[in-house]
Structure 1
């Protein structure tokens, strides 16, 4: 299996209002998010790629236009956890690129959430 990854970045705020009032994530706060999309294929395409990295530019545009410097509670239809973001970006990518294998989202340099079907 051949695999490629590409990393994207954005900054946004969110608030997990369903958590107890004394939980730090119940307060509005922000992160510098990192999104890593992984694509995989058993065979390379005619150009010798899993997919040309340049073809992933629509994800950058989508993130920049819809997520960067936004309040995620107003953007997503689900609780704005890293896990739900990973699933959201996976679904968005898989609808465009069938080779999408997983999406990872980081809120801090020590934490990652991943969605992989």
Structure 2
């Protein structure tokens, strides 16, 4: 992967970890106003996950790079996002598999995992590129979770 500079988020944590990954997935946006995107199509998504914290775990990691990749890549690579019905929903626009919602779902998956670790770092940013010219940045709200 070519090195890329991502938008950064301000935080007061001592450590910041960034993990790049990609996954190939198909989706459709179940809305007439989505135009051509309402038809099934696919992307190679490129994601950058930013995790921050003050404490390292028993291995000296803020978070394990391999585990972060596995949470996303194993689940979504070569899948149809709409078929992940526990995460996406064709009836609720807040759960359509748009790039914005996919970025938020990646945050939710990663933060749930981090919450179960002893050192409890925070996911502070998801950068998700859908095409070479289009990307979304998701950052949790002030309370550390997405706004409802």
Q: TM-score range by the shorter chain?
A: 0.7 to 0.9
Please tell me whether the aligned partners of residues 9 and 32 of structure 1 are also in contact (alpha carbons under 8 angstroms).
yes
1:19 alignment partner in structure 2: 32
Deviation at 1:5, TM superposition (A): 1.1
Deviation at 1:109, TM superposition (A): 1.7
TM-score by structure 1 length? Answer: 0.80
- Is residue 2:143 matched to residue 1:115? no
Deviation at 1:70, TM superposition (A): 0.6
Which protein has greater RCO, CA pairs closer than 8 Å, 6+ apart?
1
RMSD over aligned Cα, in angstroms? 2.3
Q: What is the alpha-carbon distance in structure 2 between the residues aligned to residue 59 and residue 4 of structure 1?
A: 11
Distance 1:50 1:114, change over 3 A: farther
Give structure 2 stretches of 5+ with no counterpart: 1-11, 89-94, 115-120, 141-148
Q: Deviations over 1:59-88 (max 9, x none)?
A: 322323321111111013220011111111
SS of equivalent residue, structure 2 residue 32: coil
1:37 alignment partner in structure 2: 49
